[in-house]
Amino acid sequence: MANADYSIDRSEIETLIAWLNAMTTDIDALNGGGTGTLTDMTLDGVTIHAGSDLFAPGKRVKEALVKLGKDVLDRLDNMSSNGADLAVKLQAALDKAERVENLNQLSASEFGAFKPPVTTGSGHGSES
């Protein structure tokens, strides 16, 4: 399917921006940065009762769970940052496209206001 024609309209990009912003909000809430029931316990603060630290298998499980929680949070933080960054860049692209569209709708007299002044002569030496 190389070189397949595909176009995305403004509403699809706006839907994607809204989805990215919602995902970012949900990830932040999961990480304890939002409001609601998800903020009661963050992934790196999970407590399990697997015996005392003298019970080696339980200690290993607790340590592995803490490391896994931190790793998951790191990945979620990256997803949140990347999602927010992409949403901002998509919005900037939409804004730029809107400005270009507005330029396409200029009348001839409006366009004339943007052209440089016309000079006479060759620009070499003095005119007679």
Q: Give the DSSP per-residue string, 20-31.
A: HHHHHHHHHHHT
Reduced to 3 states (helix: H, G, I; strand: E, B; else coil), residue 80 is helix
Number of domains in the chain: 1
pTM listed for this prediction: 0.60
- Asked whether residue 86 is domain-assigned, the answer is yes
Looking at this protein, which amino acid is placed at residue 29? A
The Cα–Cα gap between 93 and 87 comes to: 10
Instruction: Give residues with Cβ within 8 angstroms of 53, minimum separation 6.
Output: 59
Tell me if 2 is assigned to some domain: no
Residues 6 or more apart whose Cβ sits within 8 Å of residue 56: none
Query: Residue 45: pLDDT band by 50, 70, 90 thresholds?
Result: low
Q: Is residue 33, in this structure, part of any structural domain at all?
A: yes
The distance of Cα 64 from the centroid of its chain, to the nearest Å, equals: 31
Give a yes or no: residue 4 inside a domain. no
CA neighbor of 44 nearest in space, from 24, 73, 64: 73
Does residue 55 lie in a domain region? yes
Which one has a higher pLDDT value, 125 or 17?
17
Tell me whether residue 114 is in a domain: no
51 lies in a domain? Answer: yes
Range of the domain at 25: 12-106
C-alpha 24/C-alpha 86 separation (Å) is: 11
pLDDT of the residue at 122: 62
- Continuous segment of H or E residues that includes residue 83: helix 56-104
Position 83 scores a pLDDT of 94
The answer to whether position 59 is within a domain reads yes
CB 45 within 8 A of CB 70: no
